[in-house]
Amino acid sequence: MKNDCQEIREKFSGFIDNEIEPEAHRLIASHLEHCADCQAQANAQRGVKDLLASRLPMQAAPHHLRARVMNALRTQPESWSFRSLLQRLFEFQPMPAFASVALLIALTAGLALLAGKPTINQPEKRQALALVTNSQIEGVFTCVDCELLDISKTPYTHDQRHRLGVKCDDGIFWSILQTDKGSELSSLDGLMRRRIRVKGHLFPEQHLVDVTDYSVI
């Protein structure tokens, strides 16, 4: 391998992706005409790029993650930015002179608070019921009691009604709200251990689903 091959190969990606100057492009192209090794390398790299684009499995964000993030955006303490602090002060005390005094007090208090307690509880915000509308989950229609008896290898059957829900692949068990559609789904025979897709509104914190539609897969 000649020395300039090394240099050329450093730029193969730019050559393939059309990210180099026309002059450099011409240089590489003319090198490839004379160097079979580099030519093979360039083809191989192009092949790898195509392979990645067409065959790498893409994974969409799971539905519960979307719900989790939206919930976190709603419940996290509002931004700590200086600007928002100022805004809030002026809102309570619109006169600038008072505001600056209030700002000083608030800042001192804020610093003391930050030093002493790194987290501030905001129960009234946490209680907000997060809801993700028109989403869907997919999983195995499962009775939670049967599942527990099964896991613990207990050779009994429970004598109560089945407590049914959808067990997703990530292990999360979604309970079904007993609305019209939810009750209908729960009362169906022969669905146990079948894989179903449930459409509806999700309560990600409580792992509850308000079913609007369902189908067996």
Q: Residue 92 CB, nearest distance to other proteins (Å)?
A: 9
Residues binding other proteins: number (CB under 8 A): 51
Q: How far is the C-alpha of 126 from the C-alpha of 75, rounded, in Å?
A: 6
Handedness of CA 194, 200, 203, 209 (dihedral sign): negative
- Residue 13 is a binding residue for other proteins (CB under 8 A): yes
- Residue 26 is a binding residue for other proteins (CB under 8 A): no
Given 26, 29, 30, 87, the residue binding other proteins (CB under 8 A): 87
- Residue 37 is a binding residue for other proteins (CB under 8 A): yes
Q: DSSP label at 19?
A: -
Q: Residue 157 CB, nearest distance to other proteins (Å)?
A: 34
Residues 6+ apart with CB under 8 A from 143: 162, 163, 164, 165, 192
Q: Of the two residues 116 and 171, which places its CB atom closer to other proteins in the complex?
A: 171
- Residue 106 is a binding residue for other proteins (CB under 8 A): no
Position 163, amino acid: R
Helical (H) or strand (E) element with 136: strand 132-143
**What ranges in 18-142 are assigned the alpha helix state H?**
22-34, 36-55, 63-75, 82-92, 96-116, 123-126
Given 1, 97, 115, 120, the residue binding other proteins (CB under 8 A): 1
Given 33, 59, 97, 189, the residue binding other proteins (CB under 8 A): 59
- Residue 81 is a binding residue for other proteins (CB under 8 A): yes
Given 25, 35, 45, 175, the residue binding other proteins (CB under 8 A): 45
- Residue 122 is a binding residue for other proteins (CB under 8 A): no
Q: Residue 7 CB, nearest distance to other proteins (Å)?
A: 10
Q: Reduce the DSSP state of residue 37 to 3 states and report it.
A: helix
